Amino acid sequence: MAEDPPDEGMLGWDESVFRNERVFEIDYVPETFKHRETQTQSLQYVLRPAVRGSRPLNAVVRGPPGTGKTTAVQKLFSELQAETNDVRTVRVNCQMNATRYSVFSRLFEGMFDYEPPASGISFKKLFSQVTERLVDEDEVLVVALDDVNYLFYESEASDTLYSLLRAHEEHSGARIGVIVVSSDPNLNVMDELDSRVQSVFRPEDIYFPPYDEGEIVEILRERVKRGFQDDVIPAPILDLVADFTAETGDLRVGIDLLRRAGLHAEMRASRTVEREDVKAAYEKSKYVHLRRSLEGLSESELALVEVIAECEGERAGDVYETFHERTGLGYTRYSEIVNKLDDLGIVETEYAEVEGRGRSRELTLEYDREAVLDRL
């Protein structure tokens, strides 16, 4: 007996709703970069001296998560490398490299195209090898410290910037410019730096505001055009995705939401994304910031997040006792981690009066408890 023909709205086994799924990955750099013309021009102004062989200006690039800061830096770094062979650009992810030594290890890797030895090399030697290479090759180095807020959380920012900004004093002829990129709205970079760094940093301030809803729709429409097959995302569905994205203020949520909604539609073997796909996907996509924040935490920091989630509603002292039992770490380190989690927006801390015990700090999660535990 002949089989029934497949439903026209159903995908075959070898079909996909995606034209290029890579378009929806977080680190994808789009060919067209809209609604950031002013900020791009400011970055070009900062970098222009490097093309002429001079030390570039320094800059603080700031704004909420998902506002195009990293993309702008990456695109201009690519253009700069295409323009001249005398400028070396290195972007360091400080979420993964939150100490001065690890930052300079990434600079070493960027200069020599291989990693430095894992042990047995001092910071001074690492530093001198980077600066000597710059002078020997007569190159200008532009360093982007992306998510620099993580250096501040570990009290490493001032020492790292001081070493970069004073490099020419240690090795005459070394030319280094620094761009720091921060997504922490509560961090004032200049105020938190040592006075010795403030006096030599003097950065240009470049602010990336949140995208408005019209801009979000236009940017997501471009991703849809490049990433999906024709007619997979109808206009009303794109508007729904934009609404969810605008609620969070983070464009990365919308990009992740498109990808997950597409995968959800494929799971149903559907050729089009529908409202149910978007709503189901949003339950995971809305936690993009939480997922990225957790990825950058150490084992002991993750352990404290888990303890806080399990001990929700208990006093900080009781949370510490459980944390100490699991990790063996003391109260000073516990307090440092609490402050970092507060800065990251994972935990909220408040002081409250406790009868007979004075003031006590209360810890609560900024996210749904089950969502946190699920991602741990």
Known binding-site positions for ATP = 67-71, 211, 223
The answer to whether 245 and 279 have CB atoms below 8 angstroms apart is no
Which residues touch 47 (CB under 8 Å, ≥6 apart)?
A: 56, 57, 76, 80, 142, 177
- Residue at token pair 């399990």: 310
- Residue at token pair 């981690």: 337
- Measured in Å, how far apart are the chain's first and last C-alpha atoms? 52
E strands in the chain: 59-62, 87-93, 140-146, 175-182, 204-207, 347-354, 358-365
Known binding-site positions = 67-71, 211, 223
The answer to whether 183 and 149 have CB atoms below 8 angstroms apart is yes
Which residues touch 319 (CB under 8 Å, ≥6 apart)?
A: 304, 307, 308, 311, 363
Report residue 271 as tokens: 């050729």
The answer to whether 304 and 267 have CB atoms below 8 angstroms apart is no
| DSSP state string for 243-283 | HHHHHHT-HHHHHHHHHHHHHHHHHTTBSS--HHHHHHHHH
